[in-house]
Structure 1
C-alpha cells in the first residue's frame, strides 16, 4: 500500500489499524461504505444529491481524504480526473468524493493482496 501516491507509513498504519481483518468486508463496496465514500442518494423534487452516511468510520474517511488531497496536489493524473468531474457539473466536494471512492477500491484491493501474500498457504 505504500506504493500508492500520497500514502505514507502513518496513513498506512492508520488504515490497517482501523480496518483490522478484511473478512468484515465481503466486497469493495462494503469497504467503501464503511469508509464513508459510498454515497447515499437523497432527493428532493427534481434535485438528486448524494450525501455520506453518518454510520461510518470517520478516521478511515479522514485518511482517504488526506490521500485524495495529496494526489490532487501532486499528481497530474488525479488532478485531471477531478477537473473532468468538475467539468461535468460536479462541485469540488463531489469530485473529491468520487476520487475517494476510487481510492477506497484501490486500497481494499491492495489490502486484500497484502493479506493473501502474508498468510502462508496451507500445505
Structure 2
C-alpha cells in the first residue's frame, strides 16, 4: 500500500535513483502537507541535518554536516547516497573525481548528501505542488 501511495503522491521523487517507498514516505512526512513551508533546497537541507557548516581549525579548511534537524530524513538521504555509490554510474564518476581532488570518502559522502538533498527537494516540491493542485481541483468539482 505504501508503494502505491508514494507513487501516486510523489511520482517524480520515486523516479529518482535509489528512492523507494520508505524513503519517499519519510521525505513526504518530513516536508509535510504544505509545500510552501520550505522554500529552498538550503532550508530542506537544514531541516534534514544535511546543511554544511564550517569545521575548520588552524590550517585545515573543511566542512561538516549540521547535527540538528530531522534525523529520519537525514538517514533517508544517507541511504540514497550509499545506494547510489554502489550502483549509480554518475555517483561513481563523482566519487572518483572527488577522490582525485584528494577528498576522503567521508567528505565525499557529505558532499553527495547535499547534492542529493537538492535533487530530491526539487522533485518533492514539484510533486507536492501537483498534488496540491489536484486536491484543490477535486474538491471544487461537484
Q: TM-score normalized by structure 1?
A: 0.91
| Residue 90 of structure 2 corresponds to residue 77 of structure 1 | yes
Alignment-derived partner of residue 7 in structure 2:
none
After superposition, where does 1:23-38 map in structure 2 within 5 Å? 23-38=36-51
How far off its partner does 1:19 sit? 2.0
CA–CA separation in structure 2 for the residues paired with 1:69 and 1:101: 13
Which one has a bigger Cα radius of gyration? 2
Query: In the alignment, which residue of structure 1 is the partner of 2:9?
Result: none
Equivalenced residues, count: 123
1:3 equivalent to 2:15? Answer: yes
Provide the residue aligned with 2:80 in structure 1: 67
> Which string of whole-angstrom CA distances, capped at 9 and with x for unpartnered residues, describes residues 80-108 of structure 1?
11111111111101111111111111111
Structure (1/2) with the larger helix percentage: 2
Structure 2: unaligned runs, 5 residues or longer? 1-12
**What does residue 30 of structure 2 align with?**
18
Query: For 1:49 and 1:56, how far apart are their aligned partners in 2?
Result: 21
Output the aligned Cα RMSD: 1.7
Q: Which runs of 5+ in 1 are unaligned?
A: none
